[in-house]
Amino acid sequence: MLYVFYGSDQVEVRQQAHLTLAKVLKEGEEVERIEADQYSVGKLQALSSMVSLFSPRAVYLVETPSSEEAFLEDFMMSLKELGDSLHQFVVIEQTLNAAQKKKITTYATIVEEYKKTEDAAFNPFKMSDALALRDKRSLWLLFQEAKMNALSSEEIIGTFWWQLKTMRLAAVTKTAEEAGMKDYPYKKAKSALTAFPLQAVETKSRELLTLYHEGHRGKRDLDLALEAWLLGL
């Protein structure tokens, strides 16, 4: 099956793609990334029909085929095979022209465009969504945008801490009521644990708390430490 997310709002594109990955992933499955710098012609068609003795299907994140001409050409030529495949192909793309969109729509289960609104106010909670999805690229872009909008490192850490706390609660409870949370954020946190298991959440929480205290004691530059932390997801 083929799912394509594209448009000028790359943060939203990536978040929707990662949400879809979280939905299609089954227990024990992992996501394999396919990127331009690792791509060889014919790889997508080969993967679409590959059969494994150990797993009946695989899940792939296809990262921006248009970043390399041969990658894009191969992707467009492989649409039918990807759409018919038992494997799951989630594609992140930038802009598509009308002809590309029409052809992709013929074979894809989902084709969604997200356009950036220039005058939209910055929403810091998009950072928490990107963190929960473990989407390092979107999170870094949002971090830069947050700094441009004069959010302090303390405010950003507070946003991250809230999301990690939410995920820790979701991991050890069975219902939103038991966790003392509203239903929607609780379900999002539960879903996020597919790609961001509890052990990793606890590790990143400890690291975040440490860098916060060390930053305030003058042992580390808080901005630089925070950026390194999110790039280490």
pLDDT (tens digit per residue) in 202-231 = 999 999 999 999 998 989 899 999 999 998
In the chain, which segments carry CATH 1.20.272.10? Answer: 125-231
Residue 112 or 191, more confident: 112
DSSP 123: -
CA atoms of 152 and 111, how far apart (whole Å): 37
* Edge-to-edge order in the sheet of strand 31-34: 31-34, 59-63, 88-93, 2-6, 110-113
Residues forming beta bridges with residue 4, ordered by sequence position: 91, 111
Query: In terms of DSSP H, where are the helices of 31-97?
Result: 43-49, 69-77, 79-84
- Residue 165's φ and ψ, nearest 5 degrees, are -60, -40
pLDDT (tens digit per residue) in 76-110 = 999 999 999 999 999 999 999 999 999 999 999 99
Taking residue 124's Cβ as centre, other Cβ atoms within 10 Å add up to: 16
In the chain, which segments carry CATH 3.40.50.300? Answer: 2-113
What is the pLDDT at residue 82?
Answer: 96
pLDDT (tens digit per residue) in 170-212 = 999 988 889 888 888 888 888 888 778 899 999 999 999 999 9
CA atoms of 24 and 29, how far apart (whole Å): 10
Q: Which class is 125-231 in CATH?
A: mainly alpha
DSSP 210: H
CA atoms of 64 and 101, how far apart (whole Å): 14
pLDDT (tens digit per residue) in 114-158 = 987 766 678 888 898 889 888 888 898 899 989 888 889 999 999
Burial class (CB in 10 A: 0-12, 13-18, 19+), 89: buried
Domain 2-113, what fold? Rossmann fold (3.40.50)
DSSP 61: E
Tell me which amino acid residue 72 is.
L
The residue length of the chain stands at 233
pLDDT (tens digit per residue) in 36-75 = 888 999 999 999 988 876 778 899 999 999 999 999 999 9
CA atoms of 56 and 34, how far apart (whole Å): 19
pLDDT (tens digit per residue) in 4-32 = 999 988 888 988 898 888 888 887 778 88
CA atoms of 137 and 61, how far apart (whole Å): 13
* Contact between 32 and 59 (Cβ < 8 Å): yes
Q: Which of 5, 206, 214, 19 is nearest to 108 (CA)?
A: 5
